[in-house]
Chain A
Amino acid sequence: MFIINCPYCGEREQSEFKAGGEAHIERPKQPTELSDDQWAEYLFMRKNIKGIQFERWVHVHGCRKWFNMVRDTTNDQIHAVYKMGEKPPIK
């Protein structure tokens, strides 16, 4: 359990949020031209990183807005929170 600093509401308990998985997976621009391999990559394949991961969260029991987060998956420490469409503040 940890505290998440929602960019719209401030610090709230993690149970108010829902994780949305890996961030920065772009929706295919030309879906009709995708091969099966590319669809598999887009839909199913995940980095599933042990360490610093970029991911999406939604404040489902709050403002219901989506945002991005940088979190260390080895100890659940959050390094940054940033809004959708923004560039990650750390590399």
Chain B
Amino acid sequence: MKNKYSIFSLFKNALTDHENWQRAWRDPEPKKEYDAIIVGGGGHGLATAYYLAKKHNMRNIAVLEKGWIGGGNTGRNTTIIRSNYLWDASAGLYDHALKIWEGLSQELNYNVMFSQRGVMNLAHNLQDVRDLKRRTHANRLNGVDAVWLSTEEVKKFCPIINTSPNIRYPVLGGTLQKRAGTARHDAVAWGYARGADEMGVDIIQNCEVKGIKRNGDTVEGLETTKGFIKTKKIGVVAAGHSSVIANMAGLKLPLESKPLQALVSEPVKPIIDTVVMSNAVHAYLSQSDKGELVIGAGTDDYVSYSQKGSHDIVEGTLHAILELYPIFSRMRMLRQWGGIVDICPDASPIISKTSIKGLYFNCGWGTGGFKATPGSGDLFAHTIANDEPHKLNAAFNINRFVSGDLVDEHGAAAVAH
């Protein structure tokens, strides 16, 4: 049983110089067999394990992670959470996640620092205005909060934005989702890991999957760097490496893995209390609680697993940031990094069964998976436990690329892919 985190436990542990905190999760060796194995110990994978144990009572399960938990895209994203997607299927999926976010810290007894500071999307040309207004209407029909802001209202909501009509891409308005915001990405992985571990889930780090053993069209287990592990159900949540795992099972996925970059500035005093995204000029910005500006850049257009992106992508983003926020012209950037994102042709995820019995994939989140972490885990756990999708992720099956029933969120994803 895990000790509860509270103001009292903080006080108690302060008396012993914080040297006696209980381990948040164990470091077990893999068993010979599990009822289900999740491949990938990022936020989505850990959330999947947590909900499998909690809602479906599957306790004899494991999460395999080739590095350390939360060390991939979970720790590399810009932590933005919102659900203002265009299509009904996406609104259902992302708003399901947003609703879980709203009570997540209490549920996990772990402060994920969820902050509903609002996300504003800017329009810079007439087509942007039309698209964003349409999306606002679509959101409201789906019960997702959204308002349209005029240029003056944008300025009032975020005074540091340059709303002069004389810049190259003037701000013609924007949308605002007030329930949207940010969360602490590491805490999400750690919170789910701690919760899953408490229910008996084995979280096995430094364990890379090397092969998938099959008997005909049924999975039998996984070859790993820690030996063979038998299981009947495998849920793959490997983000940029999804195609690599699929290849082990002889499957091909409609994915391309590309570097996506982000950067943070030196920490400064509070200057921006919301998240501002701009699709047309590709710049998005927020400020972390430490004071760093968190800036998201774009993806490169070539396939790469190098976790490095091109310099010109960062340069382009910073040009846009400087035009929109001249106040930052002398800010220094502290760190820049890349993550490998798996992008689907329709910029929507895959949470699906496959043609192989017992093999499930949760992938294709592309540039925007973090926001969906709790919902993705919940729905993927449902799919694995029942061998059937939940109604909220039924549209995100892998067969949509055969039937043509795509969920095209390229425009509505609010950043160019």
Q: State the A residues within 8 Å of B (CB).
A: 1, 14-15, 18-19, 21-22, 36-37, 39-41, 43-50, 53, 55, 57, 71, 73-76
Contacts and interface: CB of A to CB of B under 8 A. Distances in A.
Contacts of A75: 306
Contacts of B244: 50
Q: Is the interface of A mostly helix, strand, loop or mixed?
A: mixed
Interface in B268-312: 300-306, 308, 310-312
B260 to A, nearest CB: 15
Contacts of B311: 1, 15
Nearest to A19: B302
Given A1-B310, A36-B403, A50 B305 contact: yes
Given A1-B310, A18-B301, 14 more contacts: A15-B312, A19-B300, A21-B303, A22-B303, A40-B402, A43-B345, A44-B401, A45-B252, A46-B255, A47-B243, A48-B255, A48-B256, A49-B243, A71-B302
Contacts of B308: 76
B310 A48 contact: no
Contacts of B306: 73-76
B126 to A, nearest CB: 26
Residue from B244, B301, B303, B312 with most neighbouring chain A CB atoms (10 Å): B303
Contacts of A1: 310-312
Contacts of B310: 1, 14-15
Contact of B303 (A15, A36, A53): A53
B254 A45 contact: yes
Interface string B230-249: 00000000000101100100
Contact of A48 (B243, B401, B403): B243
Given A1-B312, A45-B253, A46-B243, A19 B402 contact: no
A74 B305 contact: yes
Nearest to A18: B301
B255 A40 contact: no
A60 to B, nearest CB: 10
18 contacts: A1-B310, A14-B310, A15-B310, A19-B300, A36-B403, A40-B254, A45-B252, A45-B253, A45-B401, A46-B243, A46-B255, A47-B252, A49-B303, A50-B241, A55-B302, A57-B302, A73-B257, A73-B306
B401 A76 contact: no
B305 A73 contact: yes
Contact of B345 (A15, A37, A44): A44
B67 to A, nearest CB: 15
Task: Output the residue of B302, B312, B345, B403 with the most chain A CB within 10 A.
Answer: B302
Contacts of B253: 45-46, 48
Contact of A46 (B252, B300, B403, B404): B252
Contacts of A14: 310
Contacts of A19: 300-303
Contacts of A41: 252
What are the 6 closest A-B residue pairs judged by CB atoms, nearest first?
A: A19-B302, A48-B243, A44-B254, A15-B312, A40-B402, A45-B252
B55 to A, nearest CB: 32
Interface string B309-343: 01110000000000000000000000000000010
Nearest to A38: B402
B390 to A, nearest CB: 24
B15 to A, nearest CB: 50
Contacts of A48: 243, 253, 255-257, 303, 342
Nearest to B243: A48
A50 B305 CA distance: 6
Nearest to B403: A36
B385 to A, nearest CB: 28
B252 A73 contact: no
A14 B311 CA distance: 10
A74 B402 CA distance: 30
Contacts of B342: 48
B303 A55 contact: yes
Given A1-B311, A14-B310, A36-B403, A46 B256 contact: yes
B169 to A, nearest CB: 21
Nearest to B244: A50
A89 B412 CA distance: 42
Contacts of A53: 303
A39 B402 CA distance: 7
